Amino acid sequence: MPKFMDVHHAMHPVMDVHELGHHGMHGVTPEALQAAHQADLDIQDEEDVDFQRAWGDPDSGMVWCISEAPSAEAVQRIHERAGHPATEVYPVPVEV
C-alpha cells in the first residue's frame, strides 16, 4: 500500500499575541492532536486508510501525518470528514 505524508498548516488558528499573553500555548496541544488523530482512526477503515503517526508544532500550528492508503484522495477524504482537511497530501514512495 502506498505511503503518504500530509501537511496541515495552522490547524488551529494562531491567536492574537495580546489575547494570548505570555502564558498561552497556541496551536496544537497534545490533547487536540490526539483527538484529531482519533477522529481519523474512527473512520479510516471506510477508505482503507491507515494513519500511522502524527507530529505537531504548537508554535507554528503545523501538523504532519504519515499514512498508508490507496490514494492521496482517500487520505484527504478521511481528513475532511474528520473536520481537518490537509493543506497538502504527498505520496512518499521513497523512505530510508
Residue 5, Cα to own-chain centre: how many angstroms? Answer: 9
Stretch that binds its own copies, among 12-20, 42-50, 74-82, 86-94 (CB under 8 A): 86-94
Encoded one letter per residue, x for contact with its own copies by CB under 8 A and - for no contact, window 15-44 reads -------------xxx--xx--x-------
Q: Does 10 interact with its own copies (rule: CB under 8 A)? A: no
Q: How far apart are CA 76 and CA 89, in angstroms?
A: 7
Q: Is 87 in the site for its own copies (CB under 8 A)?
A: no
CB neighbour class for 52 (10 Å; exposed up to 12, middle 13-18, buried from 19): exposed
Q: Does 84 bind its own copies (CB under 8 A)?
A: no
